[in-house]
Amino acid sequence: MNKTVVLIPHYNNNFGLKKAIEAIGKNEKVDVLVVDDGSFKNKINEVELKKAINFSGSISFLYLEQNSGIEIALNEGLKSIYDQNKYKYIARLDCDDICIDTRFKIQEEYLDKNKDTYLVGSNATAINEVGECLFNTKFPEKYKDIKNKMHVNSMHLHPCVMFRIEILETIGYYPINYQAAEDYAYFFDIVKKYKTYNIKESLVYFQVDNTGISAKKRTIQIKSRIRIMLKHFYWGFWPIYGLVRSCGLLIIPNKLIKNVKKIIYSK
């Protein structure tokens, strides 16, 4: 029986889902749970996806009656996984994202050897819609650095994490009151209670929309992040710096930020 289940939320993106499934390496021993968040077009083709499997494991599907948002889809998936009571680790992956051949094996082995670590992430490579490399992430490896810099932004990339199922018993599920920042809120709660780590190697290629996040959604996301920062605030350099930085992002035009990112990522 496999120790790890990969949780993939899906909404109207059967092509991206198939791409993510196909990319899971043939030597990986994992099961996959796909949660469909009320898709009304590009619905899941189960037969096609099962044919696309290269890994050693099973794939199952959970269908939500209506579109409720990624937080709800993820939580329904976590509840289903917990109720099955047969997995040790839960990994995340998104449609359109591609894992290197041994991503889950590497993370499993790390958690097996480091019993005091409850979540392991990794670096990743951002690509555009045609697979061209845009930039590589540089997340801190050590827990002390992760814990400090969480006050600035999430130090774990959502589709790169694997964590112990025991986290569900203490932390619970994704909060639903931080729109567009549910992963940041969830990981912050985990980091405050448990040791986490980032593997230096890039284990995932994640697709970035060339148009970027909309100005409206960006504002919602930043406001959610500020509320999360305030929840965990204490008087110190990192919390103060994180708040000032995020408040500054609220007033800086979205177009200017995009241009700055292009300059940084082109280096």
Summarize pLDDT for 144-173 with one digit per residue, the tens.
999 999 999 999 999 999 999 999 999 999
Whole-number pLDDT of residue 199: 98
pLDDT tens for 37-54 read 999 887 899 999 999 999
Average pLDDT in the 126-133 region?
A: 88
Whole-number pLDDT of residue 211: 56
| Structural domains present in the chain | 4-210 (3.90.550.10)
Binned at pLDDT 50, 70 and 90, residue 264 comes out as very low
Whole-number pLDDT of residue 265: 46
Whole-number pLDDT of residue 210: 59
Global confidence as pTM: 0.93
Task: Write b or e for each residue in 247-264: b if 16 or more Cβ atoms lie within 10 A of its Cβ, otherwise e.
Answer: eebeeeeeeeeeeeeeee
The residues, any chain, with a CB within 8 Å of residue 169's CB and separated by 6 or more, are none
Whole-number pLDDT of residue 215: 63
Q: Using the 8-state DSSP alphabet, how is residue 150 labeled?
A: T
> How far apart are the C-alpha atoms of 140 and 121, rounded to whole Å?
10
pLDDT over 90 percentage in the chain? 83
Binned at pLDDT 50, 70 and 90, residue 209 comes out as confident
HSE on the CB side for 8, CA within 13 Å?
A: 30
Whole-number pLDDT of residue 42: 76
Q: Is residue 240's pLDDT more than 80?
A: yes
Q: Is residue 8's pLDDT more than 80?
A: yes
pLDDT tens for 93-114 read 999 999 999 999 999 999 999 9
Coil, strand or helix at 222: helix
